Structure 1
Amino acid sequence: MNTRSMRVRTLLAGLALPLATLAPAVAARAEPAAPATPVPGATAIPVGTGATIVPPEGWSQKREGQLVRFVAPEGDASAVIVPIASARNADDAAMQAFALARPGFSRAIDLTQPLPPREGWDDAAVTGFDVPPAEKAIAQAIVLRKGTSYTVVAIEGALATLAKRNAQLRVASDTLKPAGFTSESFAGKAAHRFDATRVEALKRFVLSAMQQLKIPGIGLAVVDHGKIVYEGGLGVKDLATGTPVDADTLFMIASNTKGMSTLLLATLVDQGKLDWNQPVTRYMPEFRLGDDATTRKVLVKHLVCACTGLPRRDMEWLFNTSPSTPATATFDQLAASQPTSGFGEVFQYNNLMASAAGYLGARLIAPGKELGAAYDKAMQDRIFTPLGMRDTTLSNTVATAGNWARPYDLDIDGKVALIDMKFNDTVVPYRPAGGAWSSAHDMARYVLDELDQGRLPNGKRLVSATNLLARRVHNVPVADQQWYGMGLEDSIMSGVSVIHHGGSMFGYKSDWFAVPSAQVGIVVLTNSEMGYDLTKAASRRMIELLYDGAPKAAQQVAVAARQADLWVEKNRSQLDRNVSPEEARRYVGNYANRELGPLTVTYADGVLHARATSIWSDLALKKNADGSTSLATISPGASGFEFLATTRDGKRALVLQDPQREYVLLETTG
């Protein structure tokens, strides 16, 4: 699962990176596509200031003087590379770029944030423009400075298209390099052993990052050449008691469950009970995805490749999951879903498909047994117990009865605040996609197995190397030199292959990184919404320590902390928490949507509050550029959803904009 991207802190992941705005409030539509020639293959082309870029795959391209315009196949979104000879700052460069890319552009700047260091550039920032949510679009500039000149990527167009083609833009953006730049590479270089000195250096880095990012606790482990050389905790698992994290403290590992689910499937492939390349309906005849033609195309590997063109469909489980929601809800929702792009065309992350994969394995192992119970037992018997993952569990009840880390977020004032753990119950019916809990110790055992390609410490095999490695096959690119496999990613970092996968639920962000060529891996588990930034920086610090790389990780953390501060400042300036009784009456009432279920807006003691089946939050009012008003959730963990207050069919309505889908909650009586 990845709640951070479902909340509104990400625009095009990897372009703007976390904390730039992917809004329900979005930007202007692009002009219709002009006739253009197809984009060539992976050959870099020159743009403006001498920089080069590999065009986004499938997009048309057209030169307009010094500008290069890329237009999405749908024709309603564009990315224009604009050279700017000089500018006062990033804001000025962004405004100049949009004036050239689309004359008459008049959007006001909403927020400019620094970006982490990018290879070859002196400075980088992302500028988002203020756009009413009703327009369902995005306007954003990626601003890169080299000396006194700037290269700007002016991105504008339909939210649905830019969300769908996000990875294509990210791949292209990652290849945008200044003239004459040569990337850092450690390909073929011998790695250092991760000895005690390097372990201490990593711990010092993590401690510093925790302080800057206001993260209460970390579970950390390091493995080197078949051994756990460090496992432990930093910080606290509970701010109220000050109890420290240790090697056995449990954190939700969220989407790291996906790779474990595909490991379960790999055991079945080894047994001849499953084939990655056979239709899902061969093993589960009742499986449906959209229409019959689409259903017939879905092979087992497609459930976990993020390559079928099925967009995220997370709002239903986030808003409308109850304790009685059955595991079969995964298949009910998939049957009502349809891909928005072709198989293998683009990376589109989908939790329901991964959930279905785990339950498919459970069905084959224990036919006739309730899917959830069958999955839990299969994972315990085939994965957790053989790997020696002694405390790992799929039960929230079991996890929170023992040694566990409480989840935290930054509140609207930037202070660390506890998240209601009940929000994380929403994943239970879909747990093969993100419901596991684990510790630094247990995750280190998992990483050891990945590095030893399925061989257990006692010499026996959990799974064949062939089928363990099948999970790493490159299916679709997520970014330049980064591919999604089956519940795992392969990222080439400075010429070195790093296998990993992240996880994100409310108040929990985690990742693990394995470097097969160095036989080294690290585990980073956090109990904070800010943990994403630490995990990514930790992977860079690992590379620096292994290969004497340039010290970039510390700058990544400093930039992330600044991004968070700017986000908090912007939220406080935009959101009105002091709502009068007269204003509140415009919104108080009962609303409902078929997929999202009921939502009630109440008012007491000067505070608006929203409550759905499985999530709840205080609300603030946000005035949009077109004069409309949105109700924004602001409680820790649940912040970032925006409901546009409007009318539909003569009734009051609240509209929630998911990137590729609109949910209308109509006022109800009673």
Structure 2
Amino acid sequence: MKLKLAIQGMLLHACLLVVLMLPAWAIAKETPESTAVQLELLADALEAKRQELHIPGMAIAVIQDGQLIMARGFGHRDLAQQLPVTTDTLFAIGSTSKALTATLIGTLVDEGTISWDDELSQYLPEYRFSQEDQSVPITFRDSLSHRTGYSRNDLLWANGQATREQILRTAPGAEPWDKFRESFHYNNVMYLAAGQAAAHAKGVNWDEWLSNELFKPLGMKQATSVFEQAMNRPVIATGYVWNDATEQHLTLPRRNLNNVTPAGGVWADVNDMAQWVRMLLNQGQYNGQQIISKEQLDNTWSPQVRVGAGVDYGFGWFLQSWQGQSVIEHGGSIDGYAAQVALLPESNLGFVLLTNVTATPLQQSSMNLVWEHLASTAQGVSKTTSTEDFKPFVGEYLANFASFKDDVFEVLITEQGTLAVDVPGQMIYELKAPDVDGRRYFTLTDTVAVSFDHDDNGQVMALRMHQNRMNFELPRKDVLIKPEIDPQLLQPYLGQYQSTIFNGAIEVKIQNHRLTLDVPNEMAFELHQPDDEGLRQFRIKDDMSARFIEDDSGKITALELYRDRTRKLDTASKIAGNEPDQTKLSVADVLAIGKPEQRKAALEAGKVFTLKGTIKVLNSGVTGTVSTTFDAGNKFRQHINLAPFGDVIVVVDGDSGATWGINPYTELHGKYLRQMHNEHPAVAFNVQDHFDHIQVVGKRVRDGRDVHVLRLKDQDLPSVTVMLDANTGDLLRYRTRVLNMVTGSVPVTIEYSDHREVHGLRMPFKSTITNPMMGKLLLEYDEIQANVTVSDDLFSTARPKSAD
């Protein structure tokens, strides 16, 4: 379970979400010498990764052929007291709880009490969704496979105060993010609903049922889904998060998940989880007792919805493959803890990894470590050390795809001598050896790979990212891309084309000397040169093509989009007056339209301002209030009240900043503080004082208005793309990625409207904020006050008592 929440209003945001090595092995049987050697090597590899990834402590248990062949603790459960992790150390297992929930529900299917295809509302009458006055028949199958079309609404449970009943009553008021049963959209509340519906069908309390039906029969002695019971266990790990800005571990309070237990509220140690894994690998049987039938267990491992290329989701499990074998796995993350459970059934091999840090790349990479040390050995596959010279690949590559804008991917050689890619805002991903097609897959997953383009002299010219059947090209930073055609010949195609299938206009522009389609709410797609039929294939997606239509005079009038060259998807007519802007206004000229000096004078005259209004979290069904107070300098405070689901407070005061509320109190430092500085409401009037580099990208027509597009950059923060009204200077659109020390970065788009002249300021009173973690939010201010008298401590970033 990952708690990741970003709320933005104006230009503000508050992000929520998330060495001692024990000498003795716990081995249930005498292992062959070769396996024992591999276990020692595995332990060394895990310890190296633990230190590299700043994990305070962790424990692992490995099951093979029905036997516990490894159980071990690494590092510390408590850094302050230097207490070691042992196999008895209790951890939160997060969303790996989902598989327990799905299995428990499967036992009801075995009994004939319910069917996977029963609607939840049959057992929870209040949990009934509707769209366009039509009921949405959400079943156990839909909710357990995340295919309902409703996105994350973690806001409903995050503060731990709302009851299960309150959550389930509120959730049906949410707007869908996608069409029903068409796509994968992770949703914890759907798991709460499925668990509660099953418990109602059984006529029992969920937590007691889970304990009696699974924990006790499996001998999971410490495991519990009740927070208070977990806190009374004798040995429990302290939870941490690594702050890369300060390079320190922050201690996190333990989050009470009693209100959403079926989705991720279980606590256990690796001894407990080893019994769970043993039962799963033994086709549902444990010590002669059939806990769940093989048929229903297989159902939980059966693909229900596609997640991405090579990855499906069953019931509580992600389904992928490794070297031709099926992998059944799921990770979990909650404040201070991260877990991974993974099975390789064909090798009769599985493991559980528990850590005391919020989200870590080791969750995914641990699978390859275990499989390569134990499954490869069992199959007689030898491991070799690469002698390839990686130096020609080392360098910086420019990324302009998805949410990346002028970002730099660095290819480097790790201390272990492996090739890796440093993805900005994420992590360093190690690469495997190239396959026959030259693709080097990430060691974390078989679904993402890179390859390299070379010129005729063998020099590396570009990096390619292969993911989800797409092929993203990242030119090398120090290599000049040569135009394939005289750029003047591309000018007639440039402009905007009104799409019939996308919400907005497709912009045709030049990027990397190539004709490029910038699709609204998608990304920019560079095109190849046209073939004999006039079709220009997308450079990153070979099953997509575009063709331009001319009239009798040779003027470009429309753009056609095709899939597989024959299936026409869209005919977008060229919008008159959208030819490229030839005025080439300077940055100063564009910014002057908004009268920045006049606005700054009004700010200084008003001294302190307060904006008040409402906020609607549309995809959670929650409405609250928002109050934003700011001065003409660099102080501001925003308070979002979403009672009973908690509040969010963010404060910046010069060289200090902090946020608290639904998430624990967190001081902001380094890039996180600078990011918040750049979201002061007054930034809209004086961007030149907040960004190192400002570039005028061009002039467009958006919703019938002429707009200037600017790209802003501040040191190592993600770039920001803004649209300003060409006549008023109003800020209309703001698009960037919000950095988070847990998630890396989250793409965010804000649309501004309802601009009003108040107190000498030109302010947008309505903002629509969209990000993939929270969905869509609507913020509307209804009043603004100037010369507000505030208390001396309003902008204090000191830890308040309410945050304890």
Tell which has more relative contact order, 1 or 2 (C-alpha 8 A, sep 6+).
1
Instruction: Structure 2 unaligned segments of length 5 or more: list them.
Output: 13-31, 387-412, 429-607, 609-629, 679-711, 713-719, 723-730, 757-762, 791-804
Show CA shifts across 1:463-490 (max 9, x none): 1111111111111122333210011122
Shift of 1:290: 3.4
Shift of 1:277: 1.7
Shift of 1:322: 4.3
Q: 1:216-615 alignment to 2 at 5 Å?
A: 216-291=56-131, 295-318=135-158, 321-323=159-161, 325-366=162-203, 374-401=205-232, 402-413=234-245, 415-422=247-254, 424-425=255-256, 427-457=257-287, 459-529=288-358, 531=360, 533-545=361-373, 546-547=375-376, 548=381, 562-563=422-423, 586-588=635-637, 590-592=639-641, 598-602=647-651, 606-615=655-664
- State whether residues 768 and 776 of structure 2, in contact with CA within 8 Å, keep that contact through their aligned partners in structure 1: no
Shift of 1:643: 11
| 1:17 matched residue in structure 2 | none
Q: Give the letter aligned to residue 419 of structure 1.
A: T
Instruction: For 2:262 and 2:755, locate their aligned partners in 1 and report how far apart those are by CA, in whole Å.
Output: 39
Instruction: For 1:646 and 1:592, locate their aligned partners in 2 and report how far apart those are by CA, in whole Å.
Output: 21
CA RMSD of aligned residues (A): 4.0
Question: Within the alignment, does 1:661 sit opposite 2:498 as a pair?
Answer: no
Name which of structure 1's ranges 295-304 and 490-499 shifts more when overlaid on structure 2.
295-304
Instruction: For 1:645 and 1:2, locate their aligned partners in 2 and report how far apart those are by CA, in whole Å.
Output: 27
**What SS is found at the alignment partner of 2:289?**
coil
Would the alpha carbon gap of residues 509 and 228 (structure 1) be closer, same or farther in structure 2, given more than 3 Å must change?
same
Instruction: For 1:559 and 1:343, locate their aligned partners in 2 and report how far apart those are by CA, in whole Å.
Output: 41
- State whether residues 419 and 637 of structure 1, in contact with CA within 8 Å, keep that contact through their aligned partners in structure 2: no
Identity of aligned residues (%): 23
Q: Give the letter aligned to residue 376 of structure 1.
A: D
Would the alpha carbon gap of residues 341 and 7 (structure 1) be closer, same or farther in structure 2, given more than 3 Å must change?
closer
- State whether residues 471 and 487 of structure 1, in contact with CA within 8 Å, keep that contact through their aligned partners in structure 2: yes
Shift of 1:396: 2.9
Would the alpha carbon gap of residues 603 and 233 (structure 1) be closer, same or farther in structure 2, given more than 3 Å must change?
same
TM-score of the superposed pair, with normalisation by structure 1: 0.61
Would the alpha carbon gap of residues 666 and 196 (structure 1) be closer, same or farther in structure 2, given more than 3 Å must change?
farther
- State whether residues 127 and 169 of structure 2, in contact with CA within 8 Å, keep that contact through their aligned partners in structure 1: no
Show CA shifts across 1:587-616 (max 9, x none): 225444578654344466842333334544
Instruction: For 2:777 and 2:208, locate their aligned partners in 1 and report how far apart those are by CA, in whole Å.
Output: 38
Structure number with greater Rg is 2
Instruction: For 1:610 and 1:645, locate their aligned partners in 2 and report how far apart those are by CA, in whole Å.
Output: 24
Would the alpha carbon gap of residues 261 and 519 (structure 1) be closer, same or farther in structure 2, given more than 3 Å must change?
same
- State whether residues 251 and 526 of structure 1, in contact with CA within 8 Å, keep that contact through their aligned partners in structure 2: yes
Would the alpha carbon gap of residues 602 and 299 (structure 1) be closer, same or farther in structure 2, given more than 3 Å must change?
closer
- State whether residues 453 and 465 of structure 1, in contact with CA within 8 Å, keep that contact through their aligned partners in structure 2: yes
Instruction: For 1:260 and 1:349, locate their aligned partners in 2 and report how far apart those are by CA, in whole Å.
Output: 17
**What SS is found at the alignment partner of 2:126?**
coil
**What SS is found at the alignment partner of 1:517?**
helix
Instruction: For 1:330 and 1:504, locate their aligned partners in 2 and report how far apart those are by CA, in whole Å.
Output: 21
Would the alpha carbon gap of residues 220 and 407 (structure 1) be closer, same or farther in structure 2, given more than 3 Å must change?
same
The count of residues paired between Structure 1 and Structure 2 equals 467
Name which of structure 1's ranges 203-212 and 401-410 shifts more when overlaid on structure 2.
401-410
Q: Give the letter aligned to residue 368 of structure 2.
A: R
TM-score of the superposed pair, with normalisation by structure 2: 0.52
Instruction: For 2:95 and 2:313, locate their aligned partners in 1 and report how far apart those are by CA, in whole Å.
Output: 13
Show CA shifts across 1:300-330 (max 9, x none): 2111011222222223433xx243x111133
Instruction: For 2:214 and 2:419, locate their aligned partners in 1 and report how far apart those are by CA, in whole Å.
Output: 38
| 1:208 matched residue in structure 2 | 48
Shift of 1:284: 2.8
Would the alpha carbon gap of residues 485 and 607 (structure 1) be closer, same or farther in structure 2, given more than 3 Å must change?
same
| 2:2 matched residue in structure 1 | 2
Instruction: For 1:497 and 1:194, locate their aligned partners in 2 and report how far apart those are by CA, in whole Å.
Output: 24
Instruction: For 1:297 and 1:379, locate their aligned partners in 2 and report how far apart those are by CA, in whole Å.
Output: 26
Which structure dedicates a bigger proportion of its chain to helix? 1
Which structure dedicates a bigger proportion of its chain to strand? 2
Shift of 1:513: 1.2
Instruction: For 2:169 and 2:425, locate their aligned partners in 1 and report how far apart those are by CA, in whole Å.
Output: 41
- State whether residues 635 and 654 of structure 2, in contact with CA within 8 Å, keep that contact through their aligned partners in structure 1: no
**What SS is found at the alignment partner of 1:195?**
helix
Show CA shifts across 1:383-442 (max 9, x none): 1111111111123333234312222222142523123224x23x3311210111111111
- State whether residues 221 and 444 of structure 1, in contact with CA within 8 Å, keep that contact through their aligned partners in structure 2: yes
- State whether residues 488 and 499 of structure 1, in contact with CA within 8 Å, keep that contact through their aligned partners in structure 2: yes
